[in-house]
Structures are given as C-alpha cells and as structure tokens.
C-alpha cells in the first residue's frame, strides 16, 4: 500500500497503539491526526543498494502487493489448542524431553511420498553416537502441525521409544548446502531447540528433502499471548519476565558464542513448555553467521519485528537486528498486540516513526550509511510511558527503550539485557511460578554465552545463591 493511502486511514482515526485510558486515547488520536498531516507528504525512496530487497521496497511504493512468505507472519509450526496456563495438554503429560543427539547420516529408506500423512511410517538409519553401530529408527507420522514456504512440520512418534518428536521437512536445492542444518549442528543450549538427528528422503518426482528431527514442544509464546488477549487479560508479569529473559539468553548464546543472527525472532518462533515455562528458540531457516564486510539480504525478518535498518535497505547489519525484534516481542507481551503493526514494509517505518519519532541524520547514517534521502517530516517521539498501561513497571518501559533504538550500536546487547533490573525478581531465590512450582533453570550459563562479559557484568548476572550453590567465584 502506498504511504499516502495508509496515512489517510491513519488520519481518519485508526490507532495501533493501545492506551491506558479514554482521555489518553483521545489525546493520542489528536496527536496522530497532527502527525498525519505532516506524514501525508512523506514518500520513502528505496535504498541506493542494488539488492532485491531495495527493488521490493520500491515496488511497494507504487502498488499494492502481497509480500513473500519469508517476510510475513507465518503459521505456528508447533501448535496445539491453547489451554489455561495451569492446565497441561494431554500430550505434555506423556512427553519426555531428551537432550540426546545422534549424528545426521543417511538416506531415508523406502519413502516415496511427503511422509506427513497420518499413520505413515518413516524408517531411516542413523549413525550411533561415540562410534556405536548404526541403528534403525522408525517414526509414525501423526499429524501436520505447520506448513510454510520452507516445507512442512509434522508431529511423529518414535516406534522404538514411544517418544514424540517434531519433524521439519524442507525441500532442498541440490546446488547449495542447507544453512539451517549447519547451524543446528553447532548449537547446544537450554533455550535453543534441540536437533536430535536428521536424514534425507526422495519423492517420486526425485525431489530431495531434508528431515530435521526435533524435540517436540507443544506451545508457543504467540499462542500463550493470544490466549490472554482473547480473554481480555494481560499476560502475568512473571511470564513476561521469564519469556523475555530466556530469549535474551538464547540470543546471547548464538550472538556471542557463534556470531549467528537468527533474523526471524517473533512469538511464533518461541516454543514454551506450559508445565515448566522453559522457552526455546526455534526455526533457524533464516539464520546466518554474520561476517564483517560480507553483504546480507535486507529483506528478511517478519514485518512487525523488522529492524529499521533493514527497512532502510542495509546489507551490512549486525546481530542488533535480533535485539530490535526482542524489544518488539517484549512490548507485544505487555500490550497484548504488536507494537508496530505495519501493513507493508514502508508502512512499517511509518508505524515506527509514530512512536520513536523521526530518525536524525546521524541515526539514519548508523542504520545505513548508503541511504541518501533525508527528507522526512519532523515527528516528535511519543513518550514510552504513555504507550503502556500505568500498571506497567517503569523497569519494563526502560528496558524496551534500550532495546528499541534507531542506532543499532546503541541497543543493549542480549547479555546486558539479562542483568537489567526488570529481571531482578528472577534472581530472587524465593520466586516461584504461579501455583508454587520452581522456575526453570535460568543461570546454567555456558562459557561461550558469557564471552566478552566483564567481571562486573558477571557479578550482576549470576545471583549470589547460585554462586554459593556451585562454588563459583567471580573476580
């Protein structure tokens, strides 16, 4: 949609940011109408970068078009019917979470279809761990739980062990190695989805598929958030803290330990065990190890969570794009709806400007030094405390303001976010989940996760009771 058309709708009274009260809402509407008058002259020109993304942004200015699936909100790939936060789905009571991981080895035997039909048995051979003999493993497909441009995800049961798993089946381009598989082999963290093993299969059309066998976790942050929104309730603050903190840990691990940017952080890609509330980051189909000086595609990340430097066509970005997405997710958990609900890539920038104000020349240069258009109307930033309910803790608002900065280098890192006062409750040994259950493990840090951390940061990161418990000494 052209920005002019979008802003006419904006000026007519539509608001996208919830307010805490009626008077505040009226004031917000008045401010938006004043901003609309200025923004109605606004036209975003594409970046001078000769990339597919830049061309896509230019086309969006001229006509209405549907964005490719990679950049839109995809279906939940590990979904079940949402239950109350205290009621366990039946399959969760029977689920056994395991950390065992076999090496990806071989071709699937005797499979001539997509393998996602209920009752279809998949038989494959995998290599044994630590030099053990090869073993045959059989999976019975139970139901499709997600589809997308990547392929299909289905729930299956291992016939040898009875374990429920998720199998992500991805069509392969024989000319390229699968980046997702390479990355998944590198990762081993309590807040990252576990790859158990993998195998390849062929169809009757001689299409090659990669099958990633993953641990099965039935819920997502997206569905949990929707559950509260439909009930006209706010998500309990303890869950907002737990989920956001665990996302920070996952990002600290992939950013600091491996230089990997996920590039698609959103509620649908955050799996949650509804019993323990342990969170795991999934879907590394868009992830990439970023290398200094190497160009990357800018048209990436689901729209609502897309960092502004990507909208400006930057191709030399950093892992800070994930930090922006993290801020968007946290804000959504507090609001019960997306913070920046743009209807197109260009409109996404309009939604951001409505809250953060017009970026300065310096900020635009930080986002994309090659971007030369600076003819933006001067819109004042909307105060963060007016965006959220009065009941929202000031620490939460402060953290979001540190995550959602135009300049990527001014956003706090994932590890810095972990020590923010908003999460102090999680460091209190007396804190429990609703119902009295203990919190999931939050301080079992890996050395790579703490890479580059100062002694002062470590002192704040690891609670005293954990240091005493593990005999740790931070100097």
List the binding residues for ATP: 169
**What size, in residues, is the chain?**
475
Q: CA 194, CA 354: separation in Å to the nearest integer?
A: 39
Residue pair 474/462 in contact (Cβ under 8 Å)? The answer is yes
CA–CA distances in Å: residue 188 to residues 59, 65, 193, 223, 317: 41, 40, 8, 25, 25
Instruction: Verify whether residue 188 is a known catalytic residue.
Output: no
**Active-site annotation holder among 52, 264, 283, 398:** 264
**DSSP states of 142-161 as a string?**
EEEEEEETTEEEEEEEETTT
Chain position carrying tokens 């080895």:
105
Residue 176: both structure tokens together: 């390229």
Binding-site positions: 169
Q: Could you tell me which residues come within 8 angstroms of residue 431 by beta carbon, excluding any fewer than 6 positions away?
A: 238, 425, 439
**DSSP states of 204-252 as a string?**
TT--EEEEEEEE---EEHHHHHHHHHHTT-PPPHHHHHHHHHHHHHHHH
Q: CA 428, CA 442: separation in Å to the nearest integer?
A: 11
Three-state secondary structure readout of 241-257: HHHHHHHHHHHHHHHHH
Residue pair 351/341 in contact (Cβ under 8 Å)? The answer is yes
Active site residues: 264
């Amino acid at each position: 949609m052209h920005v002019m058309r979008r802003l006419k709708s904006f000026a007519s009274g539509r608001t996208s940011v919830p307010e805490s009260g009626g008077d505040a809402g009226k004031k917000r509407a008045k401010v938006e109408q004043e901003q609309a008058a200025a923004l109605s002259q606004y036209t975003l020109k594409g970046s001078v970068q000769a990339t597919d993304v830049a061309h896509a942004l230019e086309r969006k200015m001229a006509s209405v078009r549907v964005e490719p699936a990679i950049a839109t909100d995809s279906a939940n790939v590990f979904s079940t019917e949402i239950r109350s936060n205290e009621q366990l789905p039946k399959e969760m009571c029977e689920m056994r979470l395991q950390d065992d991981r076999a090496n990806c080895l071989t071709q699937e035997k005797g499979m001539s279809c997509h393998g996602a039909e209920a009752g279809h048995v998949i038989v494959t051979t995998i290599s044994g761990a630590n030099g053990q003999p090869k073993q045959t493993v059989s999976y019975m497909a139970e139901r499709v739980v997600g589809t997308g441009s990547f392929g299909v995800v289905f729930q299956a049961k291992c016939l040898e062990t009875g374990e429920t798993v998720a199998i992500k089946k991805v069509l392969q381009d024989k000319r390229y190695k699968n980046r997702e598989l390479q990355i998944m082999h590198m990762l081993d963290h309590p807040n990252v989805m576990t790859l158990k093993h993998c195998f390849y299969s062929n169809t009757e059309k001689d299409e090659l598929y990669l099958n990633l066998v993953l641990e099965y976790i039935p819920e997502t942050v997206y569905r949990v958030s929707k559950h509260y929104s439909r009930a006209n309730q706010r998500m309990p603050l303890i869950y907002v803290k737990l989920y956001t903190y665990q996302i920070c840990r996952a990002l600290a691990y992939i950013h600091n330990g491996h230089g990997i940017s996920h590039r698609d952080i959103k509620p649908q890609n955050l799996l949650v065990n509804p019993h323990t509330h342990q969170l795991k980051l999934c879907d590394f189909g868009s992830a990439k190890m970023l290398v200094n000086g190497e160009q990357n595609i800018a048209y990436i990340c689901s729209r609502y969570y897309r960092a502004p430097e990507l909208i400006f066509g930057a191709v030399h970005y950093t892992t800070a794009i994930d930090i922006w997405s993290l801020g968007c997710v946290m804000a959504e958990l507090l609001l019960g709806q997306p913070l920046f609900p743009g209807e197109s890539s260009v409109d996404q920038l309009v939604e951001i400007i409505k809250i953060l104000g017009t970026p300065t020349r310096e900020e635009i240069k930080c986002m994309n030094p090659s971007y030369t258009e600076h003819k933006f109307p001067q819109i004042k930033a909307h105060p963060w405390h007016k965006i959220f309910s009065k009941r929202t803790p000031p620490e939460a608002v402060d953290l979001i303001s540190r995550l959602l900065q135009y300049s990527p280098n001014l956003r706090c890192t994932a590890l810095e976010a972990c020590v923010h006062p908003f999460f102090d409750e999680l460091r209190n040994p007396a804190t429990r989940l609703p119902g009295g259950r203990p919190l999931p493990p939050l301080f079992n840090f890996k050395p790579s996760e703490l890479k580059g951390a100062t002694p002062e940061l470590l002192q704040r990161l690891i609670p005293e009771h954990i240091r005493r418990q593990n005999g740790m000494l931070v100097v």
